[in-house]
């Protein structure tokens, strides 16, 4: 029976460990997904000649531009592990690798799948993906941006953007052809992929979502480096925090290949943290004295409803880039603070972004720390 429409009830989002892997154990469903989009653009060059007004052909010189973006509610680090980020599991622990370390090395990318089930039925818990389901696969996806937004009155949300090489749709979801291409010669990588059964997401140990009231922001290391007082009971009242990890990439091409043979990260990678707060006290400060300020660390901690630590981000080796105050009639004075740090080497624990999460349920090979 033909569908009249597709809504979120019938959809599930999956990501693979590597574009070449086919088994269900090498794929994970992204939990608490809120949106999933994809698009592609084909760039052509018209071929004209004297004596004819209209083009005689239109040739593709560059590979198609494929992109996908999705968002989900932050839980305990399970999704981050599935996406290939390195997350220290369990409460506490010592950082041993960069958060983005799994995305800083060369690979064949990851496959992303959007599964669409029959209309009017919940896809989660409906059993194995079958012949009535449809699947859209985006092959050879590389992370280009990861951001997390925390604000008063909103559930903490993560947004991810990836660049891919190919799109493949399968009318029968039970037989999913690998959407990836061989980056050396542009041919199809081949193989049939099996995806795990769609579930409601039990790996988060009861965490449906985290609340803004359980978010704490520690900027103690920046005490004295800002005009606004950020520390202690008299410190500014933080309204929102956003962390952004941009991983822009350069496609490397060569004669004889229709696709880039690699998509390498453009270094240096600079992670930024933006903080918006209500100002209540002003600290002793002189900008001229702070031109030689040292590195500092900012810590954002999120707890579950039982008060246990669920997720913690640490931005190490950071410095203040800007501080902006705003005040007008009828509104509270606010301050916008921008902090940034450059990502160090994969195992550099002194500079960059680090993450720990309470989740302990992940399959081997997903938690992204290269050997």
The pLDDT score that the predictor gives to residue 289 is 47
Residue 67 lies in a domain: yes
CA dihedral for 85, 88, 92, 98, sign (positive or negative): negative
pLDDT band at 120 (very low <50, low <70, confident <90, very high): confident
The pLDDT score that the predictor gives to residue 364 is 57
Residue 68 lies in a domain: yes
User: Average of pLDDT values for 8-28?
Assistant: 92
Range of the domain at 166: 8-41+62-357
Q: What does the H/E/C string look like for 133-144?
A: CEEEEEEEEEEE
pLDDT digits (tens, 9 = 90+) for 23-70: 999 999 999 999 999 999 998 999 999 999 999 999 988 888 899 999
Name the residue with higher pLDDT: 2 or 33: 33
Residue 112 lies in a domain: yes
User: Average of pLDDT values for 289-314?
Assistant: 81
Name the residue with higher pLDDT: 269 or 225: 269
Q: pTM score > 0.85 for this model?
A: yes
Cβ proximity of 308 and 282 under 8 Å: no
Q: Closest Cα partner for 203 from 312, 370, 35, 81?
A: 81
> For the purposes of burial, counting CB atoms within 10 Å of the CB of 177, is it exposed (0-12), middle (13-18) or buried (19 or more)?
middle
Average pLDDT, the chain: 85
Name the residue with higher pLDDT: 66 or 224: 66
Cβ proximity of 269 and 342 under 8 Å: yes
pLDDT digits (tens, 9 = 90+) for 335-371: 888 999 999 888 788 899 999 988 866 555 677 765 5
Residue 364 lies in a domain: no
The CA angle 233-234-239, to the nearest 5 degrees, is 90
Distance between CA 347 and CA 351 in Å, rounded?
10
Which range is least confidently modeled, 6-20, 81-95, 216-230, 318-332?
Answer: 216-230
Neighbours of 296 (CB within 10 A): 19
User: Average of pLDDT values for 224-235?
Assistant: 63
The number of angstroms, rounded, from the C-alpha of 140 to the middle of its chain's C-alpha atoms is 16
- Omega cis (within 30) before 268: yes
| Cα dist from 270 to 244, 247, 315, whole Å | 9, 9, 11
Give the chain's domain count.
Answer: 1
pLDDT band at 287 (very low <50, low <70, confident <90, very high): very low
Q: Closest Cα partner for 102 from 117, 120, 82?
A: 82
Residue 3 lies in a domain: no
pLDDT digits (tens, 9 = 90+) for 171-211: 776 778 999 988 777 788 889 999 999 987 755 557 889 99
pLDDT band at 286 (very low <50, low <70, confident <90, very high): very low
Residue 55 lies in a domain: no
- Name residue 145's beta-bridge partners: 161, 246
Cβ proximity of 182 and 188 under 8 Å: yes
pLDDT band at 288 (very low <50, low <70, confident <90, very high): very low
Residue 53 lies in a domain: no
pLDDT band at 4 (very low <50, low <70, confident <90, very high): confident
User: Average of pLDDT values for 286-308?
Assistant: 73
């Amino acid at each position: 029976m033909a569908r009249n429409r597709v809504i979120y009830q019938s959809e599930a989002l999956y990501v693979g460990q590597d574009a070449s892997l086919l088994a269900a154990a090498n794929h994970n469903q992204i939990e608490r997904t809120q949106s999933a989009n994809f698009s592609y653009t084909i760039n052509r060059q018209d071929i004209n000649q004297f004596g004819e007004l209209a083009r005689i052909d239109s040739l593709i010189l560059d590979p198609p531009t494929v992109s996908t973006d999705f968002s989900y509610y932050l839980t305990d680090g399970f999704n981050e592990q599935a996406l290939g980020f390195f997350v220290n599991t369990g409460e506490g622990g010592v950082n041993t690798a960069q958060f983005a370390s799994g995305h800083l090395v060369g690979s064949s990318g990851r496959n992303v799948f959007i599964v669409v089930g029959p209309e009017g039925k919940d896809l989660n818990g409906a059993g194995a993906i079958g012949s009535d389901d449809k699947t859209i696969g985006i092959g050879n996806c590389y992370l280009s941006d990861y951001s997390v937004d925390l604000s008063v009155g909103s559930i903490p949300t993560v947004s991810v953007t990836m660049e891919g090489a190919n799109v493949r749709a399968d009318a029968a979801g039970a037989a999913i052809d690998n959407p990836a291409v061989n980056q050396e010669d542009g041919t199809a990588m081949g193989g049939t992929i099996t995806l795990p059964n769609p579930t409601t997401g039990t790996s988060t140990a009861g965490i449906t979502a985290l609340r803004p009231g359980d978010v704490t922001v520690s900027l103690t290391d920046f005490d004295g480096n800002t005009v606004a007082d950020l520390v202690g009971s008299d410190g500014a009242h933080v309204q929102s925090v956003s962390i952004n990890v941009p991983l822009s990439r350069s496609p490397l091409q060569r004669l004889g290949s229709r696709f880039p043979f690699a998509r390498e990260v453009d270094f240096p990678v600079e992670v930024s943290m933006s903080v918006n707060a209500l100002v209540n006290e002003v600290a002793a400060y002189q900008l001229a004295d702070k031109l030689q300020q040292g590195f500092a660390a900012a810590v954002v901690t999120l707890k579950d409803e039982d008060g246990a630590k669920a997720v913690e981000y640490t931005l190490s080796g950071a410095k203040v880039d800007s501080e902006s105050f705003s005040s007008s009639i009828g509104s509270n004075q606010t301050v916008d603070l921008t902090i940034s740090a450059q990502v160090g080497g994969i195992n550099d624990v002194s500079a960059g972004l680090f993450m720990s999460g309470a989740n302990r349920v992940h399959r081997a090979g997903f938690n992204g720390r290269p050997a």
